[in-house]
Structure 1
Amino acid sequence: MIRNPILPGFNPDPSICRVGEDYYIATSTFEWYPGVQIHHSRDLANWTLVARPLNRAALLDMRGNPDSGGIWAPCLSHADGKFWLVYTDVKRLEGAWKDAHNYITTCETIDGDWSDPWYVNSSGFDPSLFHDDDGRKWFVNMQWNHRGPGSGVNPANDRFDGILLQEWSPDGGLTGLVTNIYSGTDRGLTEAPHLFKRNGWYYLTTAEGGTGYDHAVTLARSRAITGPYEDHPDKHVITTKGAPDHPVQRAGHGQYVEAPDGTGWHTYLMGRPLLHDGKPFCATGRETGIARVVWRDDWLYLEGGGLLPPLEVPHPVATAPRQATKHDRFDALPPEFQWLRTPQPDRLFRIEDGALVLTGRESIGSWFDQSLVARRQEDAAYDAHTTLNFAPQSYQQGAGLITYYNRHNFHGAFLTQEGRQRCLTLISCNGDWPAGQLDHPIAPVPVPDGPITLWVAVRGATQQFYWDAGNGAEPLGPARGAFHVSDEGAQGEHASFTGAFVGMMAYDVTGQSAEARFSAFGYAPRELDD
């Protein structure tokens, strides 16, 4: 069996392509740096992270980008002997306006140095590039409409103003007419266009219904690339709307790929909800699933019929169980870790004598210089720990272990100073948006000099911190609400759509750049009832 998700924990908006026997999936990374995750597989069941291509300032600089901004919905393709990556850098997302700039970069190898980008346009987000049989290339993106009610082409949502098509070339850029080829269905929120061609038909896959529980994969087709496009007989190929008991939810936003033997597959965004106070929330965020699809009358359908994607897919190769990761020293930054926004990681951290040394920079809420190095939460229940040494000189300096969604949603256990005494404290922000006021649930706990080990045990909607200075582990304060570190626990599905992380952080709002040495980090999946 292939067991979904194939890419667990904040791997949304999957764009898949095949090169020979090799499959690649690119997913969104939003404000996390380097930009875009690319995983590789030869069996569709087991995937390995092989590249984060947007890794220098010429390709991406997100300093100042808001939470949930940055890299939205990349498109990965292969043509002319090289890979093509299309991506959006979103600089503003709240309110009526979107500032979303679209780029293209290429590389002959998936893990090589990608070219400096071509800027393409800023008319909307979720762009893709289609390579036609005649060698022409077509750029496709949704059009964002800031004007308000009654002004758009889709009556279900005026802001998502249709799918634009225009010819593009590396030498000439965008040329010819801009054509609005598709206005979407009554599900609305039509975005994420991908074109492919089969049996003389041009197929347009889009995502509709938003990124939450109404999400869908929509399909339309035309004999001409410029349209008109007719809707699928069922409008949608994949959706879980109206099936709240199905184990897969939020299904939508994916792409079709054909295996060498001609079988069809479709990736899709998905979530695995838990319940908190009777309401669903996805502790592991928006993830990537895959389903078998079949063709009937030149239309695509799920192999098992219906619209609900399966949790498990029969397959000759099984999805291997995930393993714990443990780093007892740091000789390099482990591949699962990222940081926020900046192309200048040397200002935030360095590797030195087996330790990850974080330089305290701006606050937990900064959009510019934040020393937070973290990995994805991939499990509804997990344990994570780190060992650090830090000698703070002020309560304005801190370093420790953090579970983080964005600047309004986090919990952290930090070494700091109160009254000339080194101590531990808890700091939370429980979704206080937009004010971002902090919760300090305990009085400072004095601790001796030397290394301290911090743990967090996350079990669904709750989490508990622990600490150990060499005399055994002790709880640190009361349980915290892990529910807050999720899309639903933040500002809702259309305002917060990144994912939960756990990692190491140092801050120094005195501006003196105090350093903290982290000598170990571990992450272990657990069962919810442990």
Structure 2
Amino acid sequence: MTQSNIIQNPILPGFTPDPVILRVGKVYYLATSTFHWFPGIQIFESSDLAHWTLRTSVIHDANFLKLKGTATPCGVWAPDLTFDERTQKFWIVMCQMHNMNGNLFDQDNYAMFADTIDGPWSKPIYLNSIGFDASLFHDDDGKHYLVTLEWDTRKGYQHPGAIVLEEFDPEQKSLVGKTTRISRGGTDRGCLEAPHLYKRNGWYYLMTAEGGTGYGHGVVIQRSRNIQGPYESDPMNPVITSTPYKYFRRNDPDSLRIDLYNAKAPMQKCGHGSLVHTHTDEWYIVHLSARPLPGTTNCTLGRETSIQKMIWTDDGWLHMKSGGTLAQATTEGMTNVEIKSESQLQVINESFDTSIDQRLISPYGPHDESWVTLDARPGWVRIYGRQSFFSRFDVSLLATRIDSFQTTVETSLEFHPIHYSQSAGLVLYYDDCNWLFARLYYSETLGTTGLAIMKGEKSQKDEYLLDRIAVPEGKAEIKAIIDYGEVQFSWRRPGEQDWQHIGPKIDIQYMSDEQAGGFTGLMAGFGAWDAYRRQSYADFDSFKITPKQICDQFDELI
């Protein structure tokens, strides 16, 4: 492997939004939003800031994290991860968004603590329901503070609201004292959110996201000598963005703002930052970013995580070391820390011998013995069919993020349906309204098990009836080749060498935030449903995800 001191963005490609970073010693942790996926809150680990592996997930208690019925994009939003040096405890603050109808936003914020990053985590401590994107700050005097976006629902008042400060007492496990509004934003971009507090040289620094979660996004910094303010805005604000010009959009509820797309920006939607001071005495901000399909504004991979190296100016402001405010596709690595030229893309080659890869997660609830088991058939995972992929309740689906525009997804299964409403196979999934399902099912027309594609788009179903194939033995290997905005499904019988196309190339751009109207990203997985008697099951022998970049590197080696 060749060595380099350059970090390539995004550092976590694919659906990894709203990043927060933490250093403990020489180890770096990064947490992201999981929305309606279970378990809640994924934590990644790195030693070089460039390459990250999934270390653990935080919320496994389905009695607490009740996601059934959750409408996209509700669920777990913008976790905060901190470490209290005095008590040597890790803290997580998270928001569970229940409902967004009428812009009232019904949500609850909780805190949890643990002695290690792997847990066990404490029972959730209820904090407030005033808004979202809450974070915890441990001051050097031993006090603890929560900063939250106060979501203002009143007609005639500026939306979304203000950043509010509240003291938190870990002993009482509650907020104490009054609520103080400390900022209504450091710019006129509007859509204020994602507050984090930091302290350096006697200054309190308030970092926020402004401009919406879309093309006008930015990282904004303000500071004050007093934690309660008043806070002054950095004259360079936003300090990181994809749209480095000033504009006025306060009180504009449009968070996507496609009209602000900047074709000259190396990356898009850059904002929602989190700051870390490295063990090498350097500073970095991780932030949200996105990459639209070439020639479009559609981001099928969802919102991703990127990083920028920062420097402190002589007058005490934090700016990108590269200069300017336009987020860059690369940034300098830490001094004297080796970065190897390994891919940041995830590869999955799951054979289900003894366990299920922790990167495979499920929507609306945990994968438990009620619908998934490794015990029924050694070397296989058995999935019992439940509700369809249009459901927000009992969905039998295991999936992981797609993080490359060119990716191959494969699975091998055996399935013997007896009713047309029983299906199992390979899935590309954005949310309950938007997905593609290459499936085995019972076809009355063919008089046997068939293989065909079903499509869910904006809650409407379609089927590629002219392309179905009889598979009476009920055994098939199914493959999806994703090539930017299209996918081609193929199949073969186990033991065969050649793949045969099933169906046409299908446009998948409808599975993007811009088309679907959500905040997640494209996932790939396997699953089953049964609307007959909820008795059928499918056995899956393997599941693979291979980005084309990895395939090309392998071809070069041989």
The two structures have a TM-score, normalised by structure 1, of 0.94
Answer yes or no: is 1:478 the counterpart of 2:504. yes
Question: 1:322-471 alignment to 2 at 5 Å?
Answer: 322=345, 324-343=347-366, 345-352=368-375, 353-419=378-444, 420-430=447-457, 432=458, 436-443=459-466, 444-470=468-494, 471=496
Question: 1:43-62 alignment to 2 at 5 Å?
Answer: 43-62=48-67
Aligned with 2:461: secondary structure? Answer: coil
Shift of 1:319: 5.0
> Greater CA deviation, 506-515 or 200-209?
506-515
CA distance in 2, matches of 1:220, 1:70: 29
CA distance in 2, matches of 1:330, 1:93: 42
Question: 1:75-114 alignment to 2 at 5 Å?
Answer: 75-79=80-84, 80-114=87-121
One-letter amino acid matched to 1:327: E
In the TM superposition, structure 1's runs of 4+ consecutive aligned residues that sit over 3 Å from their partners are: 527-530
One-letter amino acid matched to 2:513: D
One-letter amino acid matched to 1:144: W
Is residue 351–residue 380 contact of structure 2 (8 Å, CA) maintained in 1?
no
Structure 2: give runs of 5+ residues left out of the alignment.
1-5, 245-261, 553-558
Is residue 449–residue 474 contact of structure 2 (8 Å, CA) maintained in 1?
no
CA distance in 1, matches of 2:551, 2:117: 40
- 1:255 corresponds in structure 2 to 274
Is residue 352–residue 374 contact of structure 2 (8 Å, CA) maintained in 1?
no
Q: Deviations over 1:328-373 (max 9, x none)?
A: 3442111221001214632231113111111101111111110010
Shift of 1:57: 2.4
Aligned with 1:36: secondary structure? Answer: strand
Match of 1:281 among 298, 307, 313: 298
- 1:239 corresponds in structure 2 to 241
Is residue 70–residue 392 contact of structure 2 (8 Å, CA) maintained in 1?
yes
- 2:258 corresponds in structure 1 to none
Match of 1:145 among 138, 152, 163: 152
Answer yes or no: is 1:17 the counterpart of 2:18. no
CA distance in 1, matches of 2:543, 2:184: 49
Q: Deviations over 1:372-395 (max 9, x none)?
A: 100110101100100001111111
> Greater CA deviation, 227-236 or 88-97?
88-97
One-letter amino acid matched to 2:442: Q
Is residue 85–residue 105 contact of structure 1 (8 Å, CA) maintained in 2?
yes
CA distance in 2, matches of 1:513, 1:340: 21
Aligned with 1:413: secondary structure? Answer: strand
CA distance in 2, matches of 1:118, 1:480: 46
- 1:155 corresponds in structure 2 to none
Q: Deviations over 1:132-179 (max 9, x none)?
A: 11111111110112223x212xxxxx2x10111111113331111101
- 2:556 corresponds in structure 1 to none
- 2:513 corresponds in structure 1 to 487
CA distance in 1, matches of 2:449, 2:367: 30
One-letter amino acid matched to 2:298: F
Match of 1:271 among 273, 285, 290: 290
Aligned with 1:95: secondary structure? Answer: helix
One-letter amino acid matched to 2:165: L
One-letter amino acid matched to 1:230: E
Give the aligned CA root-mean-square deviation in angstroms. Answer: 1.7
Q: How many residues align?
A: 513
Match of 1:525 among 547, 550, 554: 547
Is residue 362–residue 397 contact of structure 2 (8 Å, CA) maintained in 1?
yes
Q: Deviations over 1:233-270 (max 9, x none)?
A: 11211000163222211100011111123211111101
Is residue 61–residue 343 contact of structure 1 (8 Å, CA) maintained in 2?
no
Is residue 35–residue 54 contact of structure 1 (8 Å, CA) maintained in 2?
yes
- 1:118 corresponds in structure 2 to 125
One-letter amino acid matched to 2:99: R
- 1:501 corresponds in structure 2 to 523
